[in-house]
A and B are shown apart, each in its own frame.
Chain A
Amino acid sequence: MRGGVIEQERYTCAIGAMQSVVAIPRTVPILHSGPGCGDMIGGFFERATGYAGGSTAPCTNFSEKEVVFGGIDRLREIVENTFKVLDTDLQVILTGCTSGIVGDDADSLAEEFRDEGRPVVAVETAGFKSSNFEAHSAVVNAIIDQYVDLYAEENGRRSEKNTVNLFASLPYQDPFWKGNLSEYKRLLEGLGLKVHILFGPLSDGVKEWRRIPRANCNILVSPWYGLPIAEHLEAKYGQAFTWFPHIPIGANQTEKFLSQVIGFVLAQGAEIDRAKAEAFVRRESAAYYEEIDNLATFLLEFRYGLPNHVHILHDAGYVVGLSKFLLHEAGIVPKEQFVTDNTPEKFQEQIQAELSSASGKREIPIVFEPDAGLAQEAIRKLAHSGRGLIIGSGWDKALAREKDYDFLSAALPSPYRLVLAANYAGFSGGLRVIEDIYHNVLATYR
């Protein structure tokens, strides 16, 4: 991971993974951190309180005293009182920099509570350790080891042939996580599978988490993050996983994704009806292409100017998924692309190759640049003919205006867009991307 200066950050530190806890219904994050960590995270994600995050989340609010003498007693008190004050199913302690440096042992404390039969998980998320992209896996794996595993006996491993665990969108860091997870669920259920999506209102909260071991196998949709979860479950419960390397947007990618899943689960012994599953995909696809007919008429006949090329500043999954989609299904050519998620070096080559596979005709330059100030500077110096489009975070709105480009806010952080349950994944996600882009474009006309 790059460690230099970062301007205009597009992700946050490890404790930002408290949002993965917030996303589990009736689960509460408890911060063992300095005052303000929760405020910073809340401010980054915005409108991200969920059931018991934001101002509701308990916090030890480290003071000088805890820095000098340690804060474990304070944490014990807060956990104890959280049981009294908040009606929750699971408490997850996330430690911050202060705790990390003074060396408080939150793990042992959580174990003390578990020994009393009270569901408490602890995970180290000191901000200097990693980004929230990476810490998400640490949080999920900690819940698996310290909570899910306690119920492993009554949830026989791989006991449900047609059940899968899905690991895809990062809650809140992916602004469309809720919509995406529910669309994945709908699509996979259409194939005849039962799906644990684990996060969001359409998951079944901790009950669903307890059933994780029952799944026959796992699905990972991600360019790189979340991989440690799939690997951990493979080692722990013997669940193999299939890995789709980016968010599938539109028909081409969604068909490819679903076909990959069908082949994989059947090989894993799932008892789904292949013909029925494929018929489901065909019907979804047909509905999609009916809209593409309408789109094509618009794209081909609109006389007043539409964007012909795009720069995207986003995480690797969106950069690849959107580039492929826009090139083939909307006719917008991806020019230089910028991955701002601080992708670890070992994954960069395969992500680049994945993007290259988008076209035999053209090379799409991709830059891995967590310092989005530099990414913006690069775009500032580029010039392509025709009307341009920038897809990025709220930071990029000013850049688009400078360059007189169209702009779509689709990455964090963004004060310029309110996303509730919209999805960009799947067939319908592709249509939504098209609606969003051309809504903004058409809104520029008087």
Chain B
Amino acid sequence: MSKVNLSLPAVQIREIRINSITGFQGGAAELVSCARRGIKDNPRSFTQCVGCASSKAACMTILVQDGAVISHGPVGCSSCYHEFAFTYRVNSPLRGVETPTQRKIYSTNLTERDTVYGGNGKLANAIREVYERARPKAIFVLTTCAAGIIGDDVESVCDEAEAELGIPVAAIFCEGFRSSVWTTGFDAGYHGIARKLIKPPRKRRDDLINVINFWGSDVFKDWFAPFGAKPNYITPYSTVESLARSSEAAATVQACSTLGSYLGAVLEQEFGVPELPTAPPYGVAQTDRWFRALGKLLGKEAAAEQVIAEKKAEYLPKIAAVRERIRAIKPDGELTAYVTGGAAHGHALLSVLGELEIKAAGAAIFHHDPLFDNGEPDSDQLAQRVKDYGDVPNFNVCNKQEFELVNVLNRLRPDLLLARHGGMTLWGAKLGIPSLLIGDEHYAMGYEGLVKYGERILETLENDEFVKNLERHAVNPYTDWWLRQKPNTFLTRKENRACAAV
């Protein structure tokens, strides 16, 4: 049953909508097998700072070229957004934006008085002020904990402003406390965009494919060309107009299934844009499937087979060569790696390891979606990893809890740490483990990506002097007691059974 309901102002949170969880320790295969049987979360009695839904909604709106973003809250609730302004400028050449304009980011600056008398008036004035200053094509209003608890009627204020100004003013409900799965913030952002920006299709364009993504390199242009199509990247670097017309695309593909889960489903169910029913192309087997699925969806199976054949002829020998060089690093034993990152992309990196024949010693993945909004089992990247390359032991759904990561890394001492999010690589390095973070999530995609990523792994393993030196001088705030405990010590249930049925 679809959980998409655009008539409601707020998106349903992930833990309710698709049963996402933030706590589990066990094997990847076990987690995957539970997915169809219902899954049970496992909360912790000790927690460290986690991410915020609002910043996830923020990155999907701030990077819309001609929009403006208002954080309706105290000034602190938008204080990390300057990072997205930096990202926008730095990555603009990757997306052909030649003169990146200054990002328009505002805070309504709620103060104590507003928590008593309400902030509706302040928000209404802020929207007008922002419109006058920046003349954006759309305004996104992000809610915060304070605005949520004092009960401001953000939806009505936005609707009234929209009527007055004649541009979309989208209320985006992304208060941090609403969901313990902060990727709900992506859904919230997309929900607002879908309600206020995306227009019903006037026609179907077979030359346009939506790519729901962050801000990585433009790999899809070349990949879609043989199919006579081009990518419509959403939502970073999109425009209000291109978002409006995303409803007319021939298909939607995901760069990271957990990111675009909700928007993909919305585009399919509300606007008739079919979502590619398979996980993103990481690893040879999945890349084959991905191109085939694309060919089938577009009715261009022959083109798909040709792309696959050509690319494999070119890249399989190169992948084999990289694999050989990696094997040579530890000729008498198995090279091991540990992965930490968000769901879906972390799973993708596990597939990359599988393809390069590096043993996955374990993983700390921030949350887990048993099934995405499309309900399609083939979109499950972890299932794909397990099927193509085998189980992953020590699989921790970790909610970005550093203390568990440190504990596990200290036990496993893998040869390599792959990370996707800031703040995590440091701990690999402190333990003397060569650590690699690649921000561009498109980097390892496709056949060619395996070569590129493999090269970076080789470089990281080769240049380990820095981490070895850091290890000798590293400061460690964790107690010896904690490092001796089992990593599941602070999970409520210790038996590691994820399945609700068990």
Contacts and interface: CB of A to CB of B under 8 A. Distances in A.
Contacts of B177: 34-35, 62-64, 66-67, 98
Given A12-B75, A98-B145, A398-B102, A39 B109 contact: no
B146 A5 contact: no
A43 B83 contact: yes
B47 A56 contact: no
Interface string B29-58: 000000000000000011111111111000
Contacts of A43: 55, 79-83
Contacts of A142: none
Contact of B47 (A42, A60, A132): A60
Nearest to A415: B86
Contacts of A16: 76, 79
Contact of B80 (A40, A52, A61, A377): A40
Given A5-B126, A88-B477, A131-B75, A59 B82 contact: no
A59 B175 contact: no
Contacts of A86: 477-479, 482
B323 interface: no
A340 B102 CA distance: 19
A127 B76 contact: yes
Given A55-B49, A56-B477, A101 B82 contact: no
A234 B55 CA distance: 42
B82 A395 contact: yes
Nearest to A85: B482
B74 interface: yes
Interface stretch (A74-82, A216-224, A259-267): A74-82
Contacts of B146: 97-98, 101, 127-128
A11 B75 CA distance: 8
B292 interface: no
A183 to B, nearest CB: 24
B79 A13 contact: yes
A394 B144 CA distance: 25
B106 A37 contact: no
| Chain A contact residues, majority secondary structure | mixed
A35 B52 contact: yes
Nearest to B119: A128
B390 to A, nearest CB: 30
Given A86-B479, A394-B86, A101 B50 contact: no
A28 B477 contact: yes
A8 B82 contact: yes
Interface in B388-431: 400, 402-403, 423-424, 426
Interface residues of A, number: 73
Interface string B160-179: 00000000000000011110
A373 interface: yes
Nearest to A44: B79
B359 interface: no
Contact of B106 (A6, A41, A51, A61): A6
A38 interface: yes
Contacts of B55: 36, 39-40, 43
B76 A41 contact: yes
A9 interface: yes
* Residue from A77, A126, A128, A398 whose CB has the most chain B CB atoms within 10 Å: A128
A84 B111 CA distance: 36
A172 B35 CA distance: 44
Given A3-B113, A8-B82, A127-B77, A59 B106 contact: no
B334 to A, nearest CB: 30
A373 B149 CA distance: 28
A39 B55 CA distance: 9
A413 interface: yes
Given A3-B113, A5-B108, A34-B177, A55 B424 contact: yes
A57 B401 CA distance: 10
Given A39-B55, A88-B477, A128-B111, A54 B149 contact: no
Contacts of B115: 97, 100-101, 128
A1 B111 contact: yes
A199 to B, nearest CB: 16
Contact of B114 (A6, A9, A128, A132): A128
B180 A63 contact: yes
A426 interface: no
Interface in B94-135: 102, 104-115, 122, 125-126, 129-130, 133
Contact of B129 (A5, A97, A126): A5
B75 A61 contact: no
B109 A6 contact: yes
B48 A59 contact: yes
Interface in A88-106: 88, 96-98, 100-102
A279 B423 CA distance: 47
A129 B107 contact: no
Given A57-B48, A87-B478, A101-B115, A35 B76 contact: no
Nearest to B148: A67
B111 A373 contact: no
A348 B370 CA distance: 57
Given A3-B113, A15-B76, A82 B49 contact: no
A102 B149 contact: yes
A128 B112 contact: yes
A276 B10 CA distance: 70
A8 B145 contact: no
Given A3-B109, A101-B149, A373-B133, A9 B79 contact: yes
A285 to B, nearest CB: 37
B502 interface: no
Given A39-B51, A59-B50, A4 B109 contact: yes
B20 to A, nearest CB: 14
Interface in B3-27: none
B67 interface: no
B252 to A, nearest CB: 28
A31 interface: yes
A328 to B, nearest CB: 33
A61 B478 contact: no
Interface string A15-51: 1100000000010100100111111111110100101
A353 to B, nearest CB: 28
B479 to A, nearest CB: 5
Given A87-B477, A398-B102, A37 B49 contact: yes
6 smallest beta-carbon distances between A and B, as pairs: A36-B52, A43-B80, A13-B76, A38-B49, A127-B74, A44-B79
9 contacts: A5-B126, A13-B79, A34-B145, A58-B49, A59-B47, A59-B49, A60-B47, A377-B133, A398-B102
Interface of A: 1, 3-9, 11-16, 26, 28, 31, 34-44, 46, 49, 51-52, 54-64, 66-67, 77-78, 81-82, 84-88, 96-98, 100-102, 126-129, 131-132, 373, 377, 394-395, 398, 413, 415
Given A3-B114, A84-B46, 9 more contacts: A35-B176, A36-B49, A56-B477, A86-B477, A98-B146, A127-B75, A127-B146, A128-B110, A415-B86
Interface of B: 45-55, 70, 73-83, 85-86, 89, 102, 104-115, 122, 125-126, 129-130, 133, 144-146, 149-150, 175-178, 180, 182, 400, 402-403, 423-424, 426, 475-479, 481-482, 490
